[in-house]
Amino acid sequence: MVKVSGKKLVFTLVGLAASLPLTAGIASATPDLSPVVNTTCTYDQVIGAMNAERPDLAAEFNAQPVGQAMLRNFLASGPAERQRTATQIANAPGASRYFDGIAQIITTCNNY
Q: Where are the domains of the chain?
A: 41-111
Q: What letter would DSSP give residue 100?
A: H
**Angle in degrees, 0-180, between the axes of helices 99-108 and 43-53, rounded to the nearest 10:** 120
pLDDT classification of 89: cutoffs 50, 70, 90: confident
pLDDT(34) > 60: yes
How high is the pLDDT of residue 86? 87
Give the rounded distance of the alpha carbon of 52 from its chain centre. 16
C-alpha to C-alpha distance for 42 and 3, rounded to whole angstroms: 25
Predicted pLDDT at 60: 85
List the Cα angle 62/40/96 in 5-degree steps: 55
Confidence of residue 17 (pLDDT cuts 50, 70, 90): very low
**What's the predicted TM-score (pTM) here?**
0.70
Assign 105 a pLDDT band (cuts: 50, 70, 90): very high
For residue 29, how many C-alpha atoms fall within 13 Å in the half-sphere facing its CB?
2
pLDDT the model gives residue 21: 36
pLDDT reading at 67 higher than 80: yes
> 104 or 52: whose pLDDT is higher?
52
What secondary structure does DSSP assign to 34-59, as a single string?
HHHHT----HHHHHHHHHHH-HHHHH
